[in-house]
């Protein structure tokens, strides 16, 4: 869908005026950050005005001694990380396409956090927000201190709401120090099941990797893993396990030994120990950046213990039904997988979507279709089934945006 016009606010005041004006005219607005998540969500009912927040990116108020930063919503994640790094700090969550994605867009669309095993979800790092409501009213929620229980946590509600309750303008974030030492271990396996066995050994041990991902499929093949090429004699590998280990040098050294030991015990074809810069292209694959943007991408959330079974089913289905096999990045530490099916025809998308929802249901989890052809969107709710709390969500939308001008129809339950 293409909007009739684009508003480019440069300040909170601009944004407030733009929304107030749209509200008066009853025009449907969609906030836009880095544009990496525009394909996510249901097809909106109407789309009149794009609110491009890229211009709201001047403020980065970082207080290293507080381990906090207050930033404009349009600030790009990578730029923020670079600034924080000059003080030895970082935003602990890691999402796909950090060079393009903005802080506001990340919070609004709540993508998967690669480091979820240790650092939870994106929402766990949000301390407060300034949000402009549908009628242009500017509101504040939370604060900029790490402990704060004053009033309702509205910033949690806006996180992941796809801008349907208000437009995120400014965000207060909690930070962490960058660890002294970081290493990635990449290990290659004959099957994803072997990789899952190694992952379980690691998860059951005292060590805690920052990230732990199983990769498989044509778009995430060991051979395509950028800088880190598999060593000789492991060309037959179909799955890789990536583990990122951080801390002091002694702690990292022990963790590396532990992980390589676990890989060896699970019959790994080989492994490599990789420095941070060389490991980055691998982690980009783990964030789903190499996946086919024209394919169907599903984010499936299950209990961690269900991951091996889920992967087996995905592979079986990939071989048997759809035209082309899927690729995936699965996170056994916190029970999530991003699965990407290349599509030969629209029917493939329907089959893949149905499969993703069926798998989620079978494991009593959830599936969200993050990208798919526009043609099939009217047939499904890309957010899957919500359950009885959908009624509360609908009333929430009615309370915050009764005129339905903020991304109408785009969110779960076509809210």
Partner 1 sequence: MSPATKSKSRSAANAKPPLIRDLERVIDPRFVIWRPEDLLVYEYDGSIDRSIPAAVTVPGSAEETAAAVRIAKRHGVPVVPRGAGTGLSGGAVPLRGSLVVAMTRLNRILEINAENKIALVEPGVVNVELSNAAAEYDLYYAPDPSSQKACTIGGNVAENAGGPHCLAYGVTTNHVLGLEVVLADGSITWLGSDMREAPGYDLRGAFIGSEGTLGIATKIAVRLLKTPEAVQTMLAAFRSLDDASQAVSDVIASGIVPAALEMMDRTTIDACETVYRPGYPPDAQAVLIVEVDGLAETVAEQSAKIETLCTGNNASEIRRAQDPQQRADLWATRKGAIGAMGTLAPNYYLVDGVVPRTKLRDALAKVMEIGAELNLKIANVFHAGDGNLHPCILFDERDPAQVRRVIECGERILEMCAEAGGALSGEHGIGIEKQAYMPLVFTEADTQAMSRLRPAFGAEESFNPGKVFPGGAVHGETYGVKETGFHRTGTADVI
Question: Which residues 284-323 are close enough to bind partner 1 by CB under 8 A?
Answer: 301-305
Which residues from 350-369 bind partner 1, rule CB under 8 A?
365-366, 368
CB 222 within 8 A of CB 237: yes
Which residues from 75-94 bind partner 1, rule CB under 8 A?
88
Dmax (CA) for the chain in angstroms is 67
Contacts of 358 (CB under 8 A, 6+ apart): none
In the complex, least distance from residue 172 CB atom to partner 1, rounded to whole angstroms: 10
End-to-end CA distance of the chain: 18
Assess 393 for contact with partner 1 (CB under 8 A).
Answer: yes
* H-helix or E-strand spanning residue 201: helix 192-204
Assess 17 for contact with partner 1 (CB under 8 A).
Answer: no
Assess 26 for contact with partner 1 (CB under 8 A).
Answer: no
The CA dihedral of 182, 97, 108, 105, to the nearest 10 degrees, is 120
The number of helix segments (H) and strand segments (E) in the chain equals 11, 18
In the complex, least distance from residue 232 CB atom to partner 1, rounded to whole angstroms: 34
The phi, psi pair for 63, rounded to 5°, reads -115, 95
Assess 150 for contact with partner 1 (CB under 8 A).
Answer: yes
Assess 176 for contact with partner 1 (CB under 8 A).
Answer: yes
Assess 5 for contact with partner 1 (CB under 8 A).
Answer: no
In the complex, least distance from residue 39 CB atom to partner 1, rounded to whole angstroms: 17
Closer CB to partner 1, 149 or 320, in the complex: 149
Assess 67 for contact with partner 1 (CB under 8 A).
Answer: yes
d(CA 45, CA 10): 27
Closer CB to partner 1, 54 or 393, in the complex: 393
Site size for partner 1 (CB under 8 A): 81
Q: Which of 17, 79, 156, 377 binds partner 1 (CB under 8 A)?
A: 156
Assess 42 for contact with partner 1 (CB under 8 A).
Answer: no
Spell out the alpha helix ranges (H) of 266-306: 276-286
Tell me how far CA of residue 263 lies from CA of 133, 240, 316, 382, in angstroms. 51, 10, 24, 36
Closer CB to partner 1, 294 or 305, in the complex: 305
Interface segment toward partner 1; rule CB under 8 A; list 60-68, 78-86, 183-191, 345-353: 60-68
Closer CB to partner 1, 236 or 402, in the complex: 402
Residue 174 DSSP code: E
Closest CA to 221 of 85, 124, 326: 326
Site string for partner 1, 107-146 (x = CB under 8 A): ---x-----x---xx-xx------x-x---xxxxx-xxxx
Q: Which of 57, 68, 221, 237 binds partner 1 (CB under 8 A)?
A: 68
Neighbours of 345 (CB within 10 A): 11
The phi, psi pair for 57, rounded to 5°, reads -145, 20
Assess 257 for contact with partner 1 (CB under 8 A).
Answer: no
Closer CB to partner 1, 323 or 389, in the complex: 389
Tell me how far CA of residue 41 lies from CA of 53, 173, 241, in angstroms. 19, 25, 30
């Amino acid at each position: 869908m293409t909007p009739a016009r684009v508003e480019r606010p440069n300040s909170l005041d601009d944004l407030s005026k733009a929304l107030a004006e749209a509200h008066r005219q009853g025009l449907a607005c969609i906030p836009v950050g880095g544009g990496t998540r525009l394909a996510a969500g249901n097809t909106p009912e109407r789309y009149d005005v794009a609110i491009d927040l890229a211009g709201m990116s001047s403020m980065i108020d970082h207080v290293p001694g507080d381990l906090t930063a207050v930033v404009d919503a349009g600030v790009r994640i990578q730029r923020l990380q670079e600034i924080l790094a000059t003080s030895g700090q970082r935003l602990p969550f890691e999402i796909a396409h950090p060079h393009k994605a903005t802080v506001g867009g990340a919070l609004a669309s709540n993508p998967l956090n690669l480091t979820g095993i240790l650092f939870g979800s994106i929402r766990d790092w949000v301390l407060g927000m300034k949000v402009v409501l549908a009628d242009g009213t500017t509101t504040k929620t939370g604060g900029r201190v790490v402990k704060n229980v004053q009033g309702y946590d509205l910033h949690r509600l806006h996180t992941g709401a796809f801008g349907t309750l208000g437009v995120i303008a400014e965000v207060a974030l909690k930070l962490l120090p960058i660890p002294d030492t970081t290493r990635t271990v990449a290990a290659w396996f004959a099957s994803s099941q072997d990789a899952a066995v190694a992952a379980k050994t690691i998860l059951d041990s005292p060590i805690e990797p920052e990230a732990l991902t199983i990769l498989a499929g044509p778009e995430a093949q060991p051979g395509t893993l950028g800088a880190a090429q598999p060593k000789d004699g492991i060309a037959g590998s179909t799955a890789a396990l990536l583990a990122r280990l951080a801390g002091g040098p002694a702690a990292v050294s022990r963790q590396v030994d532990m992980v390589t030991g676990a890989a060896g015990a699970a019959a790994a074809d080989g492994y490599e120990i990789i420095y941070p810069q060389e490991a980055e292209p691998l982690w980009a694959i783990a964030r789903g950046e190499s996946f086919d943007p024209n394919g169907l991408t599903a984010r499936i959330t299950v209990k961690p213990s269900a991951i091996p079974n889920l992967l087996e089913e995905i592979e079986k289905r990939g071989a048997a039904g759809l035209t082309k096999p899927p690729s995936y990045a699965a996170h056994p530490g916190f029970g999530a997988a991003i699965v990407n099916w290349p599509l030969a025809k629209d029917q493939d998308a329907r089959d893949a979507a149905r499969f993703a929802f069926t798998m989620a249901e079978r494991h009593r989890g959830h599936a969200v279709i993050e990208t798919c052809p526009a043609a099939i969107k009217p047939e499904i709710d890309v957010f899957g089934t919500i359950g009885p709390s959908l009624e509360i969500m609908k009333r929430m939308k009615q309370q915050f945006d009764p005129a339905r001008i903020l991304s109408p129809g785009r969110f779960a339950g076509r809210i």
